[in-house]
Chains A and B, each alone.
Chain A
């Protein structure tokens, strides 16, 4: 009796002591936990802040690019100068210049005249021609037509050229500013949504430059990449994960796939140059070749993501399928692949997003060329969005600065859409189970 009492009290004593020790440590544990939480939170806030700074600066620089300044001209469609049988070949540039000269009859010397003619975009004559071709009954009349202003005028209107700096440091001198003011006074200057930016190809003139050519080039290139890298990547992942025996060869393959993922992308560009262009003689600057090069680059991403998602399919599902007499191919096709698909799709879209933003390898295969026409196929010369951004960022004109930022916004928009698509697809496939 005594003994057991003793034992009980000593057990109680020990318990108390244990609780004391635990309690003493408790405060420290909670402190550590709070500290960890704070670290995590501040890391997230910091990265959000960086992201916000990035977005704000891009937006602040770029939103004006979605507007374009137009000038209204009064043009006399001189029947003597326009051949009714051949509307296309008339000297519309001459008509535009005539109209400008008429607006400012005081301008006489050659240098000033050249400056005056530079007030409107060189695209004005195309707009005029289009107008005449559509409205041939107007020939002989004086018409009013809105034409895009030159990029310098555009910049002045948008406030990017400051009036109060000394004339010598300004891109526009006082006479030019006086002309702009004259137009503005007569309400012949307006700002409108810049449709050209979304429908045009590249141009030397900022006011005529658009991203549609680059978007098309990117789409064609990505289409090639997707059509090649998704099936090849998924098939490789399935073979390596489900069918290949584990031996030295598969180890070598695995290591090299991981190596491939770490190879700098420019190397793929050099490879593309050597193999696709020089050896196979495929055309330069073509989305087809760009797609091939980017396929090499995205394949490791897709394979690694695919293998990871195959690995994460529980073995019990495989056993269940095999145990009921499914062949290995049936097991993979009916049970493993559907479960691994969301992960594979996510990996693919991440790979595609990488490919969409890739520049370096495409420089090597000539996709950095200055291309005005919108590409119409996989072998037409083309450029892609990030390369277009690179080209514009490299241009000296002030107006290309805002175009650069606007193009970045478009690129980011595409990336956001793709990532959103990845989330949607994953949700959709997961809901089936």
Chain B
């Protein structure tokens, strides 16, 4: 039991020493919001948001289990927002609300309003097919289709009718692979199965597949958790580049990653959005006791 704790602390310290800014070990005894307080601290609104969520609750198992609780959060244009928090706190659940992937789970119910460009995505007449083209998603485990690299990229544009002929498709495939930084590695083997690539390449293939349909928002659920540090660095660079054109919401377990790639960070805890604010402030100067516990490694 004690051993376990020590090793955990050590991991956190290692991470701290690993390039990024040292963990805030400030001892200036500032007043923090106490642990039991659950209302969101910080500025959850942004000006002219791309997506905006109000009073979002999610229930699983036909209402038996409430997974997230009254979440209010905006996602700005051309920003990367990171979502952090201990396992099981509802980050993925929240992320999956944003493109209605939760619809596919039996017994899952979402209440509240989520809008994209001021249009409610849970409205009665909203079709999820164009919504998911508008809000793309990259998953934790790379999941290329068991088809050729080319077909992996071309599939989305084809079903949405974004390309009319082979030339256009070729162009879009090349462009998407270039933007995902994968073109040089795969240009000679586009007809080979996407599942034959390395883990990092597969994840970049999935990102290329997502951007091939030219979405407005990209959701990423722990996209680097199955990757080695080099592949992770490549993907982080890629995210940095993509934010020129897209709003990106990324769930991550690595606080280094959050601080490297994101402009804003939201901290979730047991289904509540505890604190949200500029990434620097969250990591250097958290306002909530729970946030501080988490980023200093005293929790999860």
Which of B104, B146, B195, B213 sits near A324, CB closer than 8 Å? B213
Contacts of A30 in B (CB 8 A): none
Contacts of B104 in A (CB 8 A): 318-319, 322
B145–A335 CB distance below 8 A? yes
Which of A317, A327, A330, A339 sits near B143, CB closer than 8 Å? A317
Closest B residue by C-beta to A314: B143
Contacts of B129 in A (CB 8 A): 325-327
A325–B133 CB distance below 8 A? yes
Contacts of B146 in A (CB 8 A): 317, 339, 433
CA distance A314 to B139 in the complex (A): 14
Over the window 323-345 of chain A, the binary record of Cβ atoms lying under 8 Å from chain B Cβ atoms (1 yes, 0 no) is 11111001000110001000000
* Contact residues on A (Cβ < 8 Å of other chain), bracket: 20 to 34
B155–A316 CB distance below 8 A? no
B210–A433 CB distance below 8 A? no
A433–B193 CB distance below 8 A? yes
Contacts of A314 in B (CB 8 A): 143
**Which residues from 88 to 113 on chain B have a C-beta closer than 8 Å to any C-beta of chain A?**
99, 101, 104, 106
B156–A325 CB distance below 8 A? yes
Closest B residue by C-beta to A321: B145
A325–B213 CB distance below 8 A? yes
Over the window 73-100 of chain B, the binary record of Cβ atoms lying under 8 Å from chain A Cβ atoms (1 yes, 0 no) is 0000000000000000000000000010
Total number of residue pairs linking A and B with CB closer than 8 Å: 64
Min Cβ gap A67→B in Å is 53
Contacts of A195 in B (CB 8 A): none
Contacts of B106 in A (CB 8 A): 245-246
B130 at the interface (CB under 8 A from A): yes
A324–B132 CB distance below 8 A? yes
Contacts of B206 in A (CB 8 A): 320
B139–A325 CB distance below 8 A? no
A325 touching B160 in the complex, CB below 8 Å, given contacts A246-B106, A334-B155: yes
Min Cβ gap A243→B in Å is 12
CA distance A339 to B195 in the complex (A): 14
Closest A residue by C-beta to B141: A316
B4 at the interface (CB under 8 A from A): no
Min Cβ gap B125→A in Å is 16
Contacts of B230 in A (CB 8 A): none
Closest A residue by C-beta to B138: A323
CA distance A339 to B146 in the complex (A): 9
Closest B residue by C-beta to A320: B143
Closest B residue by C-beta to A313: B146
Which of A316, A323, A326 sits near B99, CB closer than 8 Å? A323
Contacts of B195 in A (CB 8 A): 433
Contacts of B147 in A (CB 8 A): 433
A330–B159 CB distance below 8 A? yes
A316–B156 CB distance below 8 A? no
Q: What are 30 A-B pairs at a CB distance below 8 A?
A: A314-B143, A316-B141, A317-B145, A318-B104, A319-B101, A319-B137, A319-B143, A320-B139, A320-B143, A320-B206, A321-B145, A322-B101, A323-B136, A323-B137, A323-B139, A323-B210, A324-B132, A324-B133, A324-B136, A325-B130, A325-B132, A325-B133, A325-B136, A325-B159, A325-B213, A326-B129, A330-B159, A339-B146, A433-B147, A433-B195
A residues lining the B interface (CB < 8 Å):
245-246, 314, 316-327, 330, 334-335, 339, 433
* Besides the known contacts A323-B139, A324-B210, A339-B146, 7 further A-B residue pairs in the complex with CB atoms under 8 A apart: A319-B143, A320-B143, A323-B132, A324-B136, A325-B130, A325-B159, A325-B213
